[in-house]
């Protein structure tokens, strides 16, 4: 996705006010009714409608009139809110080039006032595989708060909390600087993902170091769950930094042994294939039993001594609660189960349209867990470009229609203001079941001082 931060410069205070109004509205609505946005933003003279057009033009919002007339934030819109907040807090002053595209994130360089360059990770937890959507939808259907905004924010919160805790315990991780919404700012790792490295001076040393990290994590009560060549950075001095923590679990997790063995297996497999490391026992001959794993030097999960309570106590203190952990884990595991059980043939466009998880349809193409062999290539996203063009054409046709409707609503709002009363209810069938005025005034309070 293109992140043209120049747009930020041209966005006015009113633009951000309306964007924030949509964000607040999304706490209770998947699509926020236009009239509600207007009531939350409270711009004078029907200004909201003009601003909505501008935000739509810059693709910060998506318009939906299928059930009632309304808008939702796009990833881009959410990005701008987080970036603006970071800039206001003085965390950084500018956004630079994109340095990484993960399965569920985009990573950019950001520039601080003193010239330091940091890394900004924007989480995109709705960016899941077609197969994963189905099972997630089953439980998400009943919980409207489980939308992509919530999940991406939770992933950022978890990543930040884990990074801090791991740093405290001297694990080689980036330095956590700040988080807001779905965005985490951290130190920039000087180096490359191990997957890009073709040769090492000391492959055995690097291998032992990496394996040592997995074991030490388990001693501290944690399993990375995605510990592979994509999430291990290495610099020119062959110094290791581990990244990417939203999927980490406690050693008391019911599948802990499996996750631990999988992390270990990924490392063994990669080093054998890429650097021709041979282990005491050929991995191909391994039938999976613990005994043989011991023989070829694999750490045995059940024999690792651990200091309990690390995850629960320190992470809860950081603001990442047990409920947060349960929520995000259910999402991640939902994806894994779906990836394992569903057949691709079952996927249909209808399935996707029904999902309330999907912020931008173009992002529906990646699974959660990185396999040892699967690359983090963005090729499949490019394939979706054709679909995206078609979508844009349709959107252009809709635009004239929408402009007309927004203008009408604007005129109505102006007329209502002149008559000294509230704007009329929308022509559309939207009904706010949760008590409109009380909810609106609560949101209004959150907006004040903004």
Within 65-84, which residues bind ligand ADP (CB under 6 A)?
none
Within 181-210, which residues bind ligand ADP (CB under 6 A)?
186, 188-189, 193
Nearer to Mg ion among residue 244 and residue 261 (C-beta): 244
Task: For residue 268, count other CB atoms closer than 10 A to its CB.
Answer: 21
User: Counting contacts by CB under 5 A, is residue 106 touching Mg ion?
Assistant: no
User: Counting contacts by CB under 5 A, is residue 104 touching Mg ion?
Assistant: no
Judged by CB under 6 A, which of 20, 48, 105, 228 binds ligand ADP? 105
Active site residue 296: no
List strand residue ranges (DSSP E) for 265-411, in order: none
DSSP string for residues in 328-350: HHHHHHHHHHHHHH--GGG--HH
- For the record, the structure tokens of 158 come out as 């978890």
Judged by CB under 6 A, which of 94, 96, 100, 203 binds ligand ADP? 100
SS3 assignment, position 160: helix
Residue of 148, 151, 87, 147 whose CA lies nearest to 120:
87
Q: From the list Mg ion, ligand ADP, none, pick the one residue 119 interacts with, judged by a Cβ distance below 5 to 8 Å according to partner type.
A: ligand ADP
Nearer to ligand ADP among residue 39 and residue 124 (C-beta): 124
Q: From the list ligand ADP, Mg ion, none, pick the one residue 63 interacts with, judged by a Cβ distance below 5 to 8 Å according to partner type.
A: none
Q: From the list Mg ion, ligand ADP, none, pick the one residue 129 interacts with, judged by a Cβ distance below 5 to 8 Å according to partner type.
A: none
- Residue 197 Cα distances to 146, 153, 232, 244, 270, angstroms: 38, 32, 11, 19, 11
Q: From the list Mg ion, ligand ADP, none, pick the one residue 174 interacts with, judged by a Cβ distance below 5 to 8 Å according to partner type.
A: ligand ADP
- Classify burial at 352, counting beta carbons within 10 Å of its beta carbon; exposed 0-12, middle 13-18, buried 19 or more: middle
Nearer to ligand ADP among residue 40 and residue 248 (C-beta): 248
Angle between helices 34-41 and 436-447 (to 10 degrees): 50
b/e code 212-251 from CB counts within 10 Å (16+ = b): ebbbebbebbbbbbbbbbbbbbbeeeeebbbbbbbbbbbb
Binding mask 244-283 for ligand ADP (x = CB under 6 A): x---------------------------------------
User: Counting contacts by CB under 6 A, is residue 367 touching ligand ADP?
Assistant: no
Binding mask 219-258 for Mg ion (x = CB under 5 A): -----------xx------------x--------------
Q: Give the nearest distance from C-beta 385 to ligand ADP in angstroms.
A: 20
The span from the CA of 189 to the CA of 233, in Å, is 7
Cα-Cα-Cα-Cα dihedral sign, residues 378, 224, 332, 259:
positive
Q: Give the nearest distance from C-beta 270 to ligand ADP in angstroms.
A: 14
Nearer to Mg ion among residue 228 and residue 355 (C-beta): 228
Which residues, at least 6 apart from 202, have a Cβ–Cβ distance to it below 8 Å? 238
Q: Give the nearest distance from C-beta 298 to Mg ion in angstroms.
A: 23
Q: Give the nearest distance from C-beta 107 to ligand ADP in angstroms.
A: 4
Q: Give the nearest distance from C-beta 299 to Mg ion in angstroms.
A: 22
- Residue 14 Cα distances to 3, 76, 77, angstroms: 21, 17, 14
Nearer to Mg ion among residue 101 and residue 277 (C-beta): 101
User: Counting contacts by CB under 5 A, is residue 102 touching Mg ion?
Assistant: yes
Judged by CB under 6 A, which of 1, 5, 87, 99 binds ligand ADP? 99
Q: From the list Mg ion, ligand ADP, none, pick the one residue 111 interacts with, judged by a Cβ distance below 5 to 8 Å according to partner type.
A: none
User: Counting contacts by CB under 6 A, is residue 409 touching ligand ADP?
Assistant: no
The span from the CA of 162 to the CA of 160, in Å, is 6
Residue of 369, 378, 350, 312 whose CA lies nearest to 162:
312
Which residues, at least 6 apart from 34, have a Cβ–Cβ distance to it below 8 Å? 48, 49, 52, 69, 70, 71, 406, 409, 426
Q: In what order do the strands lie in the sheet with 117-123?
A: 94-101, 105-111, 117-123, 183-187, 176-180
Query: Which member of 226, 261, 263, 360 is catalytic?
Result: 226
Residue positions counted in the chain: 450
Nearer to ligand ADP among residue 154 and residue 186 (C-beta): 186
User: Counting contacts by CB under 6 A, is residue 230 touching ligand ADP?
Assistant: yes
Pick the piece of the chain touching ligand ADP (CB under 6 A) from 14-22, 74-82, 102-110, 403-411. 102-110
The span from the CA of 218 to the CA of 301, in Å, is 8
Pick the piece of the chain touching ligand ADP (CB under 6 A) from 5-13, 98-106, 281-289, 413-421. 98-106
The span from the CA of 300 to the CA of 184, in Å, is 34
What are the catalytic residues? 226
Which residues make up the interface to Mg ion (CB under 5 A)? 102, 230-231, 244
Which residues make up the interface to ligand ADP (CB under 6 A)? 99-100, 102-105, 107, 119, 121, 174, 186, 188-189, 193, 230-231, 243-244
């Amino acid at each position: 996705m293109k992140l043209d931060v120049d747009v930020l410069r041209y966005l006015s205070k009113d633009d951000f006010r309306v964007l924030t109004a949509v964000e607040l509205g999304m706490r209770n609505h998947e699509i926020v009714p236009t009239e509600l946005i207007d009531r939350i933003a409270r711009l004078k003279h029907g200004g909201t409608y003009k601003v909505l057009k501008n935000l739509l033009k810059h693709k910060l919002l998506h318009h939906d009139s299928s059930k009632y007339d309304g808008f939702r934030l796009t990833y881009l819109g959410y990005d701008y809110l987080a970036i603006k907040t970071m800039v206001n807090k003085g965390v950084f002053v500018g956004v630079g080039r994109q340095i990484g595209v993960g399965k569920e994130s985009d990573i950019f360089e950001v520039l601080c006032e003193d010239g330091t360059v940091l890394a900004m990770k924007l989480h995109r937890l709705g960016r899941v595989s077609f197969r994963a959507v189905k099972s997630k939808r089953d439980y998400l259907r009943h919980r409207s708060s489980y939308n992509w905004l919530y999940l991406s924010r939770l992933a950022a919160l978890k990543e930040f909390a884990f990074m801090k805790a791991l740093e405290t315990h001297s694990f080689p991780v980036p330095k956590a600087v700040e988080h807001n919404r779905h965005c985490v700012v951290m130190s920039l790792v000087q180096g490359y993902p191990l997957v890009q490295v073709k040769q090492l001076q000391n492959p055995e040393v690097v291998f032992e170091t990496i394996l040592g990290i997995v074991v030490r994590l388990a001693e501290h009560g944690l399993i990375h769950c995605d510990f592979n060549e994509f999430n291990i950075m290495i610099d020119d001095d062959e110094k290791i930094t581990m990244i990417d923590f939203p999927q980490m679990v406690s050693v008391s997790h019911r599948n802990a042994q499996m996750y631990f063995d999988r992390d270990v297996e990924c490392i063994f497999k990669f080093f054998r294939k890429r650097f021709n490391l041979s282990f005491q026992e050929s991995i191909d001959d391994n039938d999976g039993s613990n005994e043989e794993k011991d023989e070829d030097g694999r750490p045995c999960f059940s024999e690792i001594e651990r200091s309990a309570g690390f995850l629960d106590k320190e992470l809860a203190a950081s603001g990442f609660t047990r409920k947060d952990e349960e929520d995000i884990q259910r999402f991640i595991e939902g994806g894994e189960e779906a990836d394992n059980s569903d057949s691709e043939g079952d996927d249909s466009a209808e399935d996707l349209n029904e999902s309330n998880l999907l912020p931008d349809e173009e992002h529906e193409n990646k699974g959660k867990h990185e396999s040892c062999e699967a690359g983090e290539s963005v090729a499949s996203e490019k394939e979706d470009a054709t679909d995206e063009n078609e979508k844009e054409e349709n959107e252009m046709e809709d635009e004239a229609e929408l402009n007309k409707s927004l203008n009408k609503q604007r005129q109505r709002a102006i007329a209502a203001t002149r008559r000294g009363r509230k704007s009329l209810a929308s022509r559309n069938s939207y009904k706010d079941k949760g008590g409109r005025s009380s909810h609106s005034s609560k949101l209004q309070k959150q907006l004040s001082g903004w």
